A and B are shown apart, each in its own frame.
Chain A
Amino acid sequence: MASFLLRQRSTQSDLEPPESLGEVLWEEEVERICSTKVALQALPYAMMDKRLIRHLREPDGVKTSFWEQWKKKWQRVHQQFLDVSHRLMGIFGLWKTDLYEIGGLFGTGIQSYFTFLRFLMVLNLLTFLLTSSLVLLPLAWLHSPEPGPALNTSYHCPTSREPQPDLSRIHLHLWDVFTGRALSNTYLFYGSYRMGPESDSQYSVRLAYLLSPLTCLLLCFCGTVRRMVKGLLHKRLLSRDYRPRLSSKVFVSWDFCIRSREAATIKQHSISNEFKIELQEEQRTLQMQQQTRKQRARQLLSYVGLNMIIGLLVVGGISAIYWATKFSQNYKDESLSLLLQYMSPGVISLVNNLGPLLFGFLVQLENYPPNTEINLTLFWCVVLKLSSLGMFLFSLRQQAVLCSGRSDHSSCEPHGYNQCDQCWENSVGQELYKLSIFDFFLMLAFAFLITLPRRLLVDHLSGQFWVWLGREEFLVPKNVLDIVAGQTITWMGLFYCPLLPLLTSIFIFFTFYVKKYTLLRNCRPSPRLFQASSATFFFQLVLLLGLLVASVPLLYVISSIPSSVNCGLFSNYSAPWQVVPEAMALRLSPSAQKVFYYFGSNTFWYPILILLSLTLTVCLSQSGANKRAIKGLRRQLLWQVREKWHLVEDLSRLLQESGGSDSWGPESPSSRSSRPRSFCPGFPCPGSPRSRSFMDPGK
């Protein structure tokens, strides 16, 4: 075999002088390969050649030092340990075969949505574990008083209104569960947590309750930013000229995980579409560069006008949500009808479903390139979704805050808020709880009452209309926005409803199976497939925005809004954050307190800010210098290669003139069969004239 020849050649070379320049180059190549630190498995050569290299690197007879032997042994053990731990993690890897099946049938773009679902479920479970271990377990351990509303000693309160007698009992119980009223005295809601006054020796449940949502949000923020930055670096680092758009599409777009014929056909179709779109964009860019200034101004105006119209629509949708919430809060306590209780979630869903349709229609009226269309629609959908949630929370708080802590209750009576039986945190928590449940059931309703019948009708009926309608498309961005909205609601409710993450993870668990069923049976994949990497970046970005939308109100409430007097852990404080200074005063020495106060003061943060600005300036100027260096290096590379080929031509001309029999031109492919093929992975083989400095990869 060829590799045996090589082995003989390498041993012979010690005895005889090398025959030709080719041999010298060959020996140098072998030496270089043997001396690199690259792991054996990562070398791009055939198995027999790798064994040869292994033999050359560590000949059997030579005694290796004690250190080397120990290192090798440790590496083996380490590798085995990693293998075992990977296998254990594999057992806990939920849904691995489901993800594999989906990826094989529909590609990795849609699979990334399901991976994202799993990630969010794990996130929620971890949040719940953190909360329960920091708050619930100590509460149970310290034998705190039973959860329930406090005894009101200072107010004369009427007994709570009896429910209407014509509803049956089961109805009532189920209804109360859905509105959260049945659970309002459990640990699900803020109002039922109780604790004695702060002391310096006991575990401070108040502090834990306050800090656990903040810690969870901070950890989620760090995790999301970390994942996002990894994808960001590749995308935006280089300027437009250096980004290989089309070339990477040619080499990187085929998905090697696809295993079914339909998915392969769809992928081929989508790749062709992508090429066509890219070519169109190229033409369009060329056209735009030739436009006059007037035309450009007109285009810009129409773009701005379109965005303003859509912005107005968004504002309109959000105000509708505000009025709906206000209206429904007025009639909170009457178990009137489905409509009023779930009015605000209903309006939110209506706005969020109509909005994208409208935006898509408006954007298509103008003749924009497809990428711009999609990005614009997506951007406004995200804005609509998150701002509707923000407005919902804001309007809730408006009602609650206006009416708590006031001596004059007359204006609040009609709203149902009075000092007696209201705990505004509980009502906010209940609203968020209702929204969560409503979202889940809406998802179920869409899946089983709209998508499934549509599939049945399209499959069994014939006619122009049904053929045009077709099965529903599985749109990844829409589904991701829905799930991120759900997660934002959970994050918003961390303070008011500490067990909401558990509920959300249960919902996500069922959502996975329902979505999988919908995808596999009732949907067709959209012709515009989502690339996996841009998908991950998009998911993380939207998640981050949701996190910000959830944290800002929370921080505001914790620091400035007084809590209800009657319920919860913070009833005696002007704002929940006041627990922290009190706890510090109780437990820490005065000097430690001074240190903490210094960290919170201006004199600490101003220098830090200045330092950060300096660092940012340095980084920016460094990246500018790097870009210039890249430009210069590319020019140099061009010149050097041209010089090389000039020299090759000169040399072959000279040799031909001098009548040399050995051709020094680049070797033709057929003469390479005598060498082991695998030693030339992409480099011109030794034997062709090259100097090492050109082609030395310098790895």
Chain B
Amino acid sequence: MGNKQTIFTDEQLDNYQDCSFFNRNDILKLHARYYELAPNIVPMDYRKNPIVTVPMSVIIQMPEFKENPFKERIVASFSEDGEGNLTFNDFVDMFSVLCESAPRELKASYAFKIYDFNNDNFICKKDLELTLARLTKSELEEEEVILVCDKVIEEADLDGDGKLSYADFEDMIAKSPDFLRVLYRSWPI
């Protein structure tokens, strides 16, 4: 209130405030970070709603994502075109879900999307194998991987169709108190 900035109109800032967990200052800081990623693509003036995307290869270089084995999946889940190129709206969305104030259900929805590699709204065995491969960087033997996948399906599949639907996933996550540590960052912006 009262600080003169020429990046967004007041209405745009209000919209962002309503649709994310950030306030005005945070949105401006986010825009600064977005601009830093690609200063020659991202305009400083967003008042006319320019359509600008930053490619995935730049976003996954950010220090928050660099060491994360799921970085491509995270960025792809939030992008509108599915390829990982984020507009500023997607960027704000992503950090809003990752921040501390986001509720568990919201994080669970996006976690499901992240782990669903083939985008069929089910986590099937192939998705599990890919997840394990990224988590353990092939330190497990093949038969161990298969055993683990079988065990996961056995434990978590409630409706017996051989793959995890969102309801199964959410039920399993609800029993893990550690879940809030996933998709969670306590960084200053």
Interface on A for B, CB 8 Å cutoff?
1-2, 40-44, 46-48, 50-51, 54, 79-80, 83, 100, 103, 108, 231, 234-235, 238, 242-248, 250-261, 263-264, 268-269, 271-272, 275-276, 278-279, 282, 531-533, 634, 637-638, 640-642, 645, 669, 677-678, 680-685, 697
Q: Cβ of B66: which chain A residues have Cβ within 8 Å of it?
A: 259
Tell me how far the C-beta of A234 lies from the nearest C-beta in chain B, rounded to whole angstroms. 4
Given contacts A248-B176, A256-B181, A683-B166, contact A282 B151 (CB under 8 A): yes
> 8 pairs across A/B with beta carbons < 8 Å?
A2-B80, A46-B80, A244-B176, A250-B148, A256-B98, A268-B135, A279-B144, A681-B113
Complex Cα spacing A259 to B169, Å: 27
Given contacts A100-B187, A243-B175, A268-B135, contact A254 B121 (CB under 8 A): no
B140, A272: Cβ atoms closer than 8 Å? yes
B184, A257: Cβ atoms closer than 8 Å? yes
- Tell whether B103 is near chain A: CB-to-CB under 8 Å: yes
Q: Cβ of B68: which chain A residues have Cβ within 8 Å of it?
A: 254, 256, 258, 264
- Return the chain A residue nearest B153 by Cβ: A247
Interface on B for A, CB 8 Å cutoff?
15-16, 18-21, 23, 63-64, 66-70, 78, 80, 82, 89-90, 92-93, 96-98, 102-103, 105-106, 109-113, 115-116, 118-121, 128, 131-132, 135-137, 139-140, 144, 147-148, 151-152, 155-156, 158-161, 165-167, 169, 172-173, 175-179, 181-188
Tell me how far the C-beta of A210 lies from the nearest C-beta in chain B, rounded to whole angstroms. 40
- Return the chain A residue nearest B150 by Cβ: A246
Complex Cα spacing A363 to B92, Å: 52
A642, B160: Cβ atoms closer than 8 Å? yes
A244, B120: Cβ atoms closer than 8 Å? no
Q: Cβ of A108: which chain B residues have Cβ within 8 Å of it?
A: 181
Tell me how far the C-beta of B26 lies from the nearest C-beta in chain A, rounded to whole angstroms. 9
Q: Cβ of A532: which chain B residues have Cβ within 8 Å of it?
A: 178, 181
B166, A669: Cβ atoms closer than 8 Å? no
A51, B184: Cβ atoms closer than 8 Å? no
Q: Cβ of A677: which chain B residues have Cβ within 8 Å of it?
A: 80, 82
Given contacts A271-B135, A533-B178, contact A257 B186 (CB under 8 A): yes
- Return the chain A residue nearest B107 by Cβ: A44
Complex Cα spacing A261 to B63, Å: 11
B159, A638: Cβ atoms closer than 8 Å? yes
> B178's contact among A48, A261, A531, A645, by CB below 8 Å, is which?
A531
Q: Cβ of B67: which chain A residues have Cβ within 8 Å of it?
A: 258-261, 263-264
Complex Cα spacing A255 to B66, Å: 13
B118, A47: Cβ atoms closer than 8 Å? no
Complex Cα spacing A680 to B18, Å: 21
Complex Cα spacing A272 to B135, Å: 8
A251, B155: Cβ atoms closer than 8 Å? no
Given contacts A41-B19, A44-B110, contact A533 B187 (CB under 8 A): no
Tell me how far the C-beta of B133 lies from the nearest C-beta in chain A, rounded to whole angstroms. 11
Given contacts A46-B80, A681-B113, A682-B166, contact A268 B63 (CB under 8 A): no
Complex Cα spacing A278 to B106, Å: 30
Q: Cβ of A278: which chain B residues have Cβ within 8 Å of it?
A: 148
A247, B15: Cβ atoms closer than 8 Å? no
Complex Cα spacing A48 to B78, Å: 12
Complex Cα spacing A256 to B70, Å: 10
Interface of A is mostly: helix
Complex Cα spacing A2 to B79, Å: 13
A40, B179: Cβ atoms closer than 8 Å? no
Tell me how far the C-beta of B173 lies from the nearest C-beta in chain A, rounded to whole angstroms. 7
- Return the chain A residue nearest B68 by Cβ: A256
Given contacts A47-B89, A103-B186, A645-B161, contact A275 B140 (CB under 8 A): yes
New contact pairs (9) apart from A40-B18, A268-B136, CB-CB < 8 Å: A46-B93, A234-B177, A252-B178, A257-B186, A268-B139, A275-B136, A531-B178, A682-B116, A682-B166
B155, A247: Cβ atoms closer than 8 Å? yes
A238, B160: Cβ atoms closer than 8 Å? no
Q: Cβ of B109: which chain A residues have Cβ within 8 Å of it?
A: 44, 681-682
> A247's contact among B97, B139, B172, B188, by CB below 8 Å, is which?
B172
Q: Cβ of A263: which chain B residues have Cβ within 8 Å of it?
A: 67
Tell me how far the C-beta of B51 lies from the nearest C-beta in chain A, rounded to whole angstroms. 9
B158, A682: Cβ atoms closer than 8 Å? no
Q: Cβ of B169: which chain A residues have Cβ within 8 Å of it?
A: 251, 682
Residue from the set A43, A231, A259 with the largest chain B CB neighbour count within 10 Å: A259
- Return the chain B residue nearest A107 by Cβ: B181
Q: Cβ of A51: which chain B residues have Cβ within 8 Å of it?
A: 15, 19
Complex Cα spacing A645 to B18, Å: 41
A248, B172: Cβ atoms closer than 8 Å? yes
Tell me how far the C-beta of A615 lies from the nearest C-beta in chain B, rounded to whole angstroms. 26
A256, B172: Cβ atoms closer than 8 Å? no
Q: Cβ of A261: which chain B residues have Cβ within 8 Å of it?
A: 67
> A47's contact among B63, B93, B105, B167, by CB below 8 Å, is which?
B93
Q: Cβ of A243: which chain B residues have Cβ within 8 Å of it?
A: 175
- Return the chain B residue nearest A2 by Cβ: B80
- Return the chain A residue nearest B141 by Cβ: A276
Tell me how far the C-beta of B4 lies from the nearest C-beta in chain A, rounded to whole angstroms. 19
B178, A641: Cβ atoms closer than 8 Å? no
A641, B160: Cβ atoms closer than 8 Å? yes
Q: Cβ of A253: which chain B residues have Cβ within 8 Å of it?
A: 135, 178
- Return the chain B residue nearest A237 by Cβ: B175
- Return the chain A residue nearest B174 by Cβ: A234
- Return the chain A residue nearest B26 by Cβ: A83
Complex Cα spacing A645 to B160, Å: 11
Q: What 3 pairs between A and B have smallest CB-CB spacing?
A: A682-B166, A47-B89, A641-B159
B136, A54: Cβ atoms closer than 8 Å? no
Q: Cβ of B111: which chain A residues have Cβ within 8 Å of it?
A: 251
Given contacts A247-B172, A272-B136, A272-B139, contact A254 B178 (CB under 8 A): no
B121, A682: Cβ atoms closer than 8 Å? yes
